[in-house]
Structures are given as C-alpha cells and as structure tokens.
Amino acid sequence: MNDDPLHSLTKDELLRYSRHILIPDFGLEGQKKLKKSRALVIGAGGLGSPVLLYLAAAGVGLIGIVDGDVVEETNLQRQILFSSMQIGNFKAEKAAERLRSLNPHIEIKTHQVWLNAENALAIFSDYDLIIDGSDNFPTRYLVNDACVLLNKPLVYGSIFQFEGQVSVFNYLTPQGDRGPNYRDLFPEPPSPGLIPSCSEGGVLGVLPGIIGSMQANEAIKILAGIGSTLSGRLFIFDALNFHSVTLHISKNPSLPPITRLIDYQAFCGYPKETISNQQEISPIQLAQLMISNSNFQLIDVREPYEYAIVDLGGIKLPEKEIDNHIDQISKDQKVVIYCRSGKRSADVISRLQTAYPFTNLFNLTGGVLAYIDQVDSSLSRY
C-alpha cells in the first residue's frame, strides 16, 4: 500500500487507533486500509446500531447509512444508537449525528430512502463493502443480487427471537473467484407469513448487539485485509441456550445467474395484487363508522400484550387462534379486521376467504399505526 497523504494517519488518529496498531497482525497498514475504505450499512436498526458504532470507532474512512425509517419507542429496547428524545426523528440523520460525535476523523453519508430495485445499484456503486442489517426477505434478496451484479462483498446478519445468523457472501477469494452468495444458501424465500418479522415475533434486545458485533468484526477484517472470513460458512447462535453451530455453504451451479434486479416483493410472495384484491377501509372511514354507531363488527387479531398498549376496541381474536373462533365472525354485516400495520390482518383475511365463504371482510389500511397518524395521535404508538 502506498503512502497516499490523503489516507495517512494524523497524530490524533495514531493515538486514537493505537490499540489496533499495536496488534502485530493488524498494525499501521491495517489501520490505513480502514481509513481508505468505504462501507455501506443497510438499516440503522437493531443490527445496524452496533455495526455502525464499531465501524465508526474503528476508523472506517467513509460509512454510508441507508434507512428511510423514523425512531419509534419500541426500537429503544435494542437499537442502542438512539434515545427517547429522538422518537419521531429519522434514524439515518440521528445515527449520523451520533457517529460524527463518536469519531470526528471519519465521513458519514446518509441515504434517507427505502432501498429498492431502482436505487440500489446507484447507492452501492460508491462503496467497497455492504453490510446488511435489514429485517425482511425482499430486502435481503435485493441486497444480495445488487452485490453480485456489482461484485461487492456482503456481510449478512439476521435475528429472530433468540436466534441469530452471520455469514459473508460474494467474497473475492485469493484465487480470484467469488464465494457463495445468499441465494446459494436460500434459493427460494419462505412462504409469506411463515417467519414473522421482529415486530410480529419479537427479538431479545441483546441479540442484535451480539450478531451486529460479529458483522462488524467480519467487515473490519475484510476492509483491513486480515484473517479469514465466514465466506462459505453460516454461523448460527442460540442466545437462549448459548449454543452455536457453523454450517458449510457451497456454490450451487444449477442456480440461474443473476443478471438484473427484479420485483422482490413479488418474488417473496407479496405481490401487490394480494392486498389490492381485498376490500379495505381507511382509518378515517373506520372512525366515521364508530362515530355514527353503524352496524359493523370490529376484530383485533393482535396479541394480548399489544391491545394492552393501545386498543381500538372490538372483539379479540389473535391471528393464531382465529380459525378456532369462526363462529364469532359475523357473516351478515361488515367486518373490519385490524392489526398493528395491516399485514397480519391482510394475511388473516386471505386465509379466511380461502377457507370459508366470507365476502364481508375489510382490512384496516395501515392498521393501528395509520389510525394513530390519521385519526388520534394521542394514542400510544408502538
């Protein structure tokens, strides 16, 4: 590596990173490589928080953040970048402020957008390494495919309840070829609803700190050019029983090559037609029904702890139990079904309409969150 003045270390940086520089296998050259590197983190949430903090502290020269979401109170149990005072603020903006205060010697670039097939390639092209902290399958396949198309290494992580996974995909080996990618491990996504998101199934607050730190470790090794990576291996950690296992991943030559980005919502089983073919009711229309005392039935398919936080009324038939209470669902009047965001209620309606002759079911568009935003902001957002 040449002594480019732009990436040489100042006296302050030599002091700050001295514990890295003291490591024989890391040293001054490793730290210079970090300063010269450009890493992009997808999501500033549970996984993104520790990844971003450790990359910034380590001295990665340019860190990009992709996140279009805002801070919510339910985030604070695990998303350690944020505080209660920042609820309602954009995550990318507040994360950047925190990282700049942590390390003034690095550059932070925010992409305050939702990642999609139209913007991914343009965003990714400016970075050496991509770290995926997303929490849904369409984004994971999108990130993987964009990395393959652009020949970018990808540090993958995922979490659910007590279990976390870490791997490195599309890594350039010393032999000059690329290691396995996400599709070699998961050629097809699971059926919609089979694996709930963290907002639906929950996650142990400390788990993203553990898995995100492992992602940061892999990223730092790759950028500094040290050690061996998890390329070709999937590390699985069970926090409940403190058990881990490492699986070997091989490239699958029978898979079709990735040549373009696609509609990942449709690929993962969430085509727009699925919800658009359902009857829907807006939060404002629901409020009007309530005020007018119209003859309709309201059903809450959330879990009991959720309606203990905020309750719009109606009978309580949790999603997993509703098939055992079909007799409680009216067939003679309009039935409005709701959940936190509208997804679970849409899934319930699809299931009920497939199995039973219901034609009177309406999904509350956007669920409780939309009702709070559009009708009653005094209710607790969660």
Surface-to-core class of residue 91, CB atoms within 10 Å of its CB (0-12 exposed, 13-18 middle, 19+ buried): buried
Q: How far is it, in rounded angstroms, from Cα 36 to Cα 58? A: 12
In this structure, are residues 137 and 160 in contact, taking their beta carbons and an 8 Å threshold? no
Q: In the β-sheet with 129-132, what is the strand arrangement from edge to edge?
A: 107-111, 62-66, 38-42, 129-132, 154-160, 163-169, 233-238, 243-248
In this structure, are residues 318 and 344 in contact, taking their beta carbons and an 8 Å threshold? no
In this structure, are residues 115 and 139 in contact, taking their beta carbons and an 8 Å threshold? yes
Q: Using N-to-C axis directions, what is the helix angle for 48-58 and 91-102, rounded to 10°? A: 30
Does 147 qualify as catalytic in the annotation?
A: no
Out of 203, 234, 339, 352, which one is annotated catalytic? 339
CB neighbours of residue 174 within 10 Å: 5
CB neighbours of residue 68 within 10 Å: 14
Out of 44, 198, 299, 369, which one is annotated catalytic? 198
- Residues annotated as part of the active site: 198, 339
